[in-house]
Structure 1
Amino acid sequence: MTHEVLPTAEPAKAFNNIAAAFLVGAMPRKEGMERKDLLAANIEIFKVQGEALDKYARKDVKVLVVGNPANTNALICSHYAPSIPKENFTAMTRLDQNRAQAALAARLNVQVDKVKNVIIWGNHSSTQYPDAAHATVTLLSGLKTVPSEINDDEWLNNTFIETIQKRGAAVIAARKMSSAMSAAKAAGDHMRDWWFGTKPGEWVSMGVVSDGSYGIPKDIVFSFPVIIKNKQYEIMQNLPISKFAKSKLDITSKELEEERAEANNVLKK
């Protein structure tokens, strides 16, 4: 229930004692724009927001970065809010997870909520790896694995992955702007689960600061499967990773390392 809405452009008022922050605004990439130019523009935005969070927000504030490039923007924001734990800064890959669940559900001809534990690994970009290897589907005959029910590795390893990777671009091509309602729904899903936790046996995808799990370089914001309890998330450990999956994780982590390096170059100037 909403008690009050305060429209303001003043960081001191906007961030005062907040428990949750949805950072939606960012500089979108325009035609012909180099990634370093995009990062430079976003550093200015997330520097202001990070400093305001550091100064005015609660120290346990939960921060969700939606504005792209979301993973690296979250890393930049945390850099400017040193008094807030780095694990409190997350990037949204829930939109990709929701899209992946919907695509699998359509293929299986079931309702979306029957599909669980799809994973988005890596960057919220076209290098992300939508992974159905550990996903399950509830059918009339019981709980089944998605790969065994779809029984089409060619579709899962190519069409499915490419469709999810390129979905954002397809939406922009269709409506001349990025997704709105589906992104808002995903942001709500992300924060709700962070607040109230995941159900037993289920995990969700969140872009979080890497601790080295699954061989991912530390200190990049990388989307992992996480389980959440008492408003604290933990990266789901010990999931088997195939050679194919490892190759996809390497591609998306390399892109994030490059983004971090470019952001660091701008930060040093």
Structure 2
Amino acid sequence: MSGVEIGAGLAWRLFATLEGGTLLLVTSALIAYTTRRKLATRKRIYRPIKNVFLTDTTSVLGRQLHARLTERGCSVSTSEYENGKNLDCLVVVGADCKDGLDGLAQLVTDDVHNNLRSLESMSSHVVAGGTIVWSWCVRSGGPYRSAAAAFRVVMKTALMHFAELSDCEAVWLEGYDTAEQTADKIMGELFPCDARDRFSFSSDCEAVWLEGYDTAERTADKIMEELFPCDARHGFSFRYCDTRHLTPASAVCSVLTSLIVITDVGPL
């Protein structure tokens, strides 16, 4: 029997020790998610995030996230939730798995009794199109890592299920070695535009970064190939422009002008 099979069996035996209501919650979420034929894959839409609920601020990861979200101007709620206040994002800080059977049992207790209940109760307050994140900061290790991995699968299933019910985006991030690395990854998922020099792009745009070439002419040619890749395949021709004496910006404008002149002659 493989380690994963042994781990899955141990994880489910630990689940069996939970109280009836909690076990029913986990099981119903698992069944509701796994009995679907296929979940539709959709492109993620990034909406502005202002109001965030953070399930834990006592752990190192929780404190880091609270500080970073606050610094970014977000309104962060923790233990006290304002009724009627819509959330843009719910961040579930998962429990850290310590070595040994006691650590695994504590993992089950913390995530099920605290985090899963928070996920169930708070996910309905996240606005449609919002984001629900589940992450933790320490990778599971030791002889019970297979059991911990099987347990994480159930938690991930519950996350996907409740996010779908709330019409939200589910983000599951595997644990990193340090809280700082994990916080960096979470912030990158919530605010992807920050990694692109803080410029705001539409979610339907594609970013293209081109390294500079030796001459303005070569740079302009490469940019035009990226903007109009079909022209080279369909036999369209460009009017020659001498751009050797121009700056890169002027060269691009010159080539674009040439394209406009050609397309104005007749339909493509």
Q: Is TM > 0.5 for Structure 1 vs Structure 2?
A: no
Higher relative strand content: 1
TM-score of the superposed pair, with normalisation by structure 1: 0.34
